Structure formats: structure tokens, C-alpha cells
Structure 1
């Protein structure tokens, strides 16, 4: 059995922020924006979700995060 090595692509913060901005400002589906940018829809979905959690945590939302949301935010930041 042959196992291929998986290489993870790294995206700089400006690229991530730009991709999230496109989704939020244009209202285009995440899948379409991801396809246009050549990235995984799952990855972009996580970035958008993390951005929403950041907004909520930083006082732009309802205030505090639940413990499970804090754990998820920490996990997404590590990705």
C-alpha cells in the first residue's frame, strides 16, 4: 500500500480576510467564492465562521462566547 504525503497550503491573513470579506459583502455562496479563489469550500466556511465568532467575542455581537464556542474558535485558529 502506498501512502501519499499531504501538503497543507498556508494562506496569509490578508488573503483570508479578503476571502471572508467577499463572502460577507457580496452575499455570494461560500462554495462559489471558494471555487473562484481555488480553495476548499470547507476551509472558507471555517474562516467565515471564525470571523463571526471573532465579531461576537469582540463585542460586535451578543457579548460572550459559550465554552464550546471558545473551544471551537481556538481549534479553528490552529487550522
Structure 2
């Protein structure tokens, strides 16, 4: 890949909608920080969501693809999954060190 060339990321419409909803509930900067997105990109998605809702004459909540879960519930699940991932990474690290230790003893 050439230097200076940035790959264009592509996101699904559902991801954009959910991200825009998160930005509406907690603010653009906070949502961008949580999702690891540029705040300008998230702001564009939020504006498009609001514009499409106004043009359709309905509230943005009508765009829900399925049952909506509260942000706090999603944050709790995210926290639980992060802890689980940290535990799994620790297990892998310990197994790697144990393998190295025991393989040195076989030589």
C-alpha cells in the first residue's frame, strides 16, 4: 500500500442509525469517543437521521430496526464482555509463558 493513502471504511446502515441514536442520547463527542469514530462523521450521520425523520414527517424513533435496549444495559453488557476478554487474554498469556517454561525444560 502506498504511503499517505487512507483506506475508506464502510459501515452498514444499521450501524450508522444506531450510532446516530447514541449520539442523540449522550452527545456527539461522547458517542464518538465510545465508538472510536471521528466526531465529524458521527455528526453527519446524526444530521442525516434527523433530516430523514423531518422529511418523512415522523420522529427518529420510528426508524428502530428492532427492540430498542437502553444505553445503560448496553454499557453493562459491554463492560462484562471487556472483563471476559481481559480474562481470556490473561489465560492465553499464562499458557504461552507456561509453554515456554516447560519447553525449555525439555532441551
Q: Could you state the TM-score of these two structures normalised by the residue count of structure 1?
A: 0.64
| Larger RCO (CA within 8 A; separation ≥ 6) | 1
Residue number among 52, 55, 65 corresponding to 1:54 in the alignment: 52
Q: In the alignment, which residue of structure 2 is the partner of 1:42?
A: 40
Tell me, which stretches of 5 or more residues in structure 2 are unaligned? 60-107
CA displacement 1:23-73 (0-9 Å, x = unmatched): 22x2x1201101110111000000000011101111127xxxxxxxxxxxx
Q: Which contiguous aligned blocks of 4+ residues in structure 1 show a shift greater than 3 angstroms?
A: none
**Rg comparison, structure with higher value:** 2
Tell me, which stretches of 5 or more residues in structure 1 are unaligned? 62-79
Shift of 1:3: 5.4
Q: Does 1:10 align with 2:2?
A: no
